[in-house]
Homo-oligomer: A and B are copies of this chain.
């Protein structure tokens, strides 16, 4: 490593420099780095020695261009500032890194136009595969992606018209099951606070319609603007309490919002969960789970990420693998006792 610093690193080194230094052809040097088993042990070591001595760093752009394999996987998601998405993305990257891939992250935000531009830029890097967390908004984007001819995994959702592989769960099932569960526990006065997010809306719609079919109508729904944050919970609860007959159970589209509701309830002196029960939605390992008074719907973001990575790596290893794959990762309804 001393050598590294000593050398004149002015002009970027190429494989040719390394080859010259080691007294072999560029091709042999290339093989020594990428398919060591094809090279004589002794020459290989000589080459690796030169690599170290010169501090050579292979130019992956050139390599990818020549081999049309980039060892790059793009991950498109609404935002990484959301523990659910971040947890999934982290797990995917961990596994991918392990397998020698790197992750190009594209935050799509919630704007379809940006999303299209982003997708095009990302596809321009010629990733070997792509992961969509939260699906794509426009059909143009989906067409573009389909045209790219690379493996795609859609995560965080289960759709009727998958692009390729999918790993997720049904947001409709979440909504419906919540309705049944809390009605069975005796609740009748529901209210919903949801962020203005497609999947949150779907859970909410399913919940409301299932409640209706159980005889509970006119459930107040507060839709809060993105980005999500605990403040939405505070504001949401205040609206709910101001404008309606107060609910006994508030269902939130995320744990973050639920925490805000808890905070507001506390400052209003409302006993949780006796006077007001609160339900969130989030990762199994997240904060929500820590607070006894919060009942929550949990998904295992990390596990989902691992399944996504496996699906993709499988396909990358074998073009026929995992065709039509659809994994339902499920979710859990957790009631916290006041233990």
A interface list, Cβ under 8 A from B: 1, 4-5, 9, 55, 57-65, 70, 72, 79-81, 83, 86-87, 89-90, 93-94, 97, 100, 102-107, 109, 114, 118, 120-126, 139-140, 143-144, 146-149, 229-231, 233-234, 255-256, 259-260, 262-263, 266-267, 285-287, 289-293, 338-339
Contacts and interface: CB of A to CB of B under 8 A. Distances in A.
Contacts of A255: 287
Contacts of A80: 80, 86, 89-90, 93
A83 B80 CA distance: 9
A260 B126 contact: no
Contacts of A292: 263, 266-267
Nearest to A81: B90
Given A4-B140, A89-B80, A90-B80, A55 B147 contact: yes
A60 B230 contact: no
Main secondary structure of the interface of A (DSSP, over half): helix
Nearest to A289: B230
Nearest to A58: B124
Given A61-B64, A231-B290, 15 more contacts: A4-B144, A57-B123, A57-B148, A59-B65, A60-B126, A61-B70, A80-B90, A80-B93, A81-B90, A97-B114, A102-B125, A105-B105, A230-B286, A231-B285, A266-B293
Contacts of A149: 9
Nearest to A118: B97
Contacts of A256: 287
A114 B93 CA distance: 13
11 contacts: A4-B147, A59-B65, A60-B126, A80-B89, A81-B83, A86-B86, A97-B118, A102-B106, A233-B290, A256-B287, A267-B338
A90 B79 contact: yes
A267 B338 CA distance: 7
Nearest to A93: B107
State the copy count for this chain.
2
B86 A81 contact: yes
User: Which of A55, A107, A140 gathers the greatest number of chain B CB atoms within 10 Å?
Assistant: A107
A260 B86 contact: no
Contacts of A114: 97
Contacts of A231: 285, 290
Given A105-B105, A106-B102, A61 B125 contact: yes
Given A61-B64, A93-B107, A126-B60, A143 B230 contact: no
Contacts of A81: 83, 86-87, 90
